[in-house]
A and B are shown apart, each in its own frame.
Chain A
């Protein structure tokens, strides 16, 4: 990876996925003593490998690091460090208010409401810094954590969250994830793959560069060394109800079997195309799952292969332009989050709300054979990071108008995202498109994903960490 600017200036997790380091641990921290915390920050970029773990930058040089270490600061964290108020005032409202104040926009209502979040997220004002460790082995996580917390005067550990990337990039619910990321102008990416989307301007993800909304720039908090090349992250702990999801697929498949138009969804005899040895009901389950997401569980985009998963189909080289209404539902998760070039109500918003996503599953994989109905399922879900230069124009805009209101297309307005939306089975619906042009409406979708914590953080550049360290 190379760029027209110095990648060593950026934290590495912004442009890289650290895919070879499947173990991830989040340390949720509070500044204990301002001066000690500043010293801690200064040491994290000092280049000395013995004490505080060194921040992983975007430039690895010839040697890949064994472990990676990155940080994000909340607004309260910047305050706790004594950032000058003239600088603090330049941060955007949503970041200043923090994630819990934005609950309605994000669909964090009812059981997802911040009042129901467990520790340490029940005390959002105490969350100052979130450090993330990435490693191949758990022992390495422990070792880095120990070094990070060695100086007890600097930071207090409020809690941890830990995830593990399942082989093949699968997430709970059984889909392949981590496929789509925006690719950036000015950054050469050696992992070339075809992608029909326009390259994203750097301002999609870094402050101080042109954004996707032509002529618009986001405010860069001053001094420049603090704000320039920084970005924002919405860290989310998203609990997934896998048993509920699979049960819903069962129910939907049973209902479809009785539906007069079911053969339009699945020609009798085509079950084998969906998966080896699948019954008609099992094949219909997979069809429903694929439609909810917009991809088959193996990642095949419906836009390219609507009838069955196709291992030969490209995973990224597709668009919704010219894709008839019958291929990929307008309400499917990936189409809602990124309508690509397809027609949407907010014409100028195509491609303007893109996010860098870094997610890792937490909790044990779901195994229906081991399920004990008398015992509550262990908690599992996704530790998600949604990164972009404007939380308001990207993460929040996507969450409220697209995921939860469906404003982008009149055919889905008034429905929530089928996978991550705050659905209520009494009112929820989702339309499965048919080749004839009609749809079959599924109802009764419950909420499959609950928010269990999170925070808005600022991901400072290396200069910014030095600046904060020298306050």
Chain B
């Protein structure tokens, strides 16, 4: 039996949106924008959910999506070159910073993406990288929209870290209840709607959320084994740390 609630017609209407094709069409072009105006949802901050557990603080994921200034094959080629020309420096950086498992550079659409897996605190990771191979960050960020405001990164450490943080994707929690938690933490507990804790209504919150954060990471990465730091892995494999 449906749970009686005092929600308005628009809420009830929107709840049923995912069910029919016509609704879907009308929903995405008209209703969701309208509804989003009525119920503003702020973008959620990027990066792993803050935690004090040791296991949550190693092998953390960074997912940076940075729109290129030059959205053409030439622009993409410039980005590809910036990475290729700095390969040695990137390896040197990984060695000296010591807390990065993997760093991947990917071009998707007209975005240069940097995905990495790192240990410990995000700001320390970026700061240590700036100190080690700031020039590589400068070469890449120079090609990115808005990048000129924060380079050279060595002279804009705090602003640069913040800029990167703002481009790091929000990591949608793995569980539905945590999803509510993030939204409430950001907006205060009545921000999304007065009927807040009914998990059957989750999809509509997700819709609004994914409107505010169009690119997200689904979960914070799934590991096949418990978290270990780079140095623990290297030590165990006998390759020096």
Interface stretch among A69-77, A175-183, A252-260, A391-399?
Answer: A391-399
CA A209 to CA B118, docked complex, whole Å: 30
We find that the number of chain B residues with CB closer than 8 angstroms to chain A is 38
The contact string, 1 if C-beta is below 8 Å from chain B, for chain A 195-225, is 0000000000000000001111111000000
In the assembled complex, the Cα of A349 lies from the Cα of B129 at a distance in Å of: 11
Q: Interface residues of A toward B: which range? A: 35 or more
Q: Kindly report which residue of chain B lies nearest to residue A409, judged by CB atoms.
A: B231
Residues of A within 8 A of B110 (CB): none
A407 at the interface (CB under 8 A from B): yes
Complex contacts, B54 vs chain A, CB 8 Å: 405, 413-414
Pairwise interchain contact B121-A92, C-beta atoms closer than 8 A = no
A213 touches B124 (CB 8 A): no
Of B64-72, B80-88, B92-100, B205-213, the stretch lying at the interface with chain A is: B92-100
List, in ascending order, chain A residues with CB within 8 A of B58's CB: 405, 407, 413
B39 at the interface (CB under 8 A from A): no
Which listed segment binds A: B13-21, B101-109, B153-161? B153-161
A396 / chain B contacts, CB cutoff of 8 Å: 121, 123
- The reply to whether B52 and A422 form a contact with Cβ atoms under 8 Å apart is yes
- Indicate whether A213 sits within 8 Å of B120 (C-beta atoms), given known contacts A219-B156, A407-B99: no
Query: Closest CB-CB distance, B175 to chain A, in whole Å?
Result: 19
Q: Are A215 and B132 in contact (CB under 8 A)?
A: no
Closest Cβ–Cβ distance, residue A333 to chain B (whole Å): 18
Q: Looking at the complex, which of A1-9, A10-18, A103-111, A270-278 is the stretch in contact with chain B? A: A103-111
Contacts of A369 in B (CB 8 A): none
Main secondary structure of the interface of A (DSSP, over half): loop
For the complex, is A347 an interface residue (Cβ under 8 Å from B)?
yes
Q: For the complex, is B229 an interface residue (Cβ under 8 Å from A)?
A: yes
Confirm or deny: B128 has a beta carbon within 8 angstroms of a beta carbon on chain A.
Answer: yes
CB distance from A43 to the nearest CB of B (A): 33
B143 touches A (CB below 8 Å): no
Asked if B35 is an interface residue, CB under 8 A from chain A, the answer is no
Bound together, the chains give a CA A347 to CA B231 distance in angstroms of 12
Q: Is the CB of B235 within 8 A of A214?
A: no
In the A-B complex, list the 10 residue pairs whose CB atoms are closest, starting with the nearest.
A410-B231, A345-B98, A213-B131, A410-B232, A401-B120, A410-B235, A345-B231, A414-B54, A104-B50, A407-B120
Sample of 8 further A-B pairs with CB below 8 A, known A405-B120, A410-B229, A414-B55: A92-B158, A216-B131, A219-B156, A348-B97, A352-B131, A407-B229, A410-B235, A410-B241
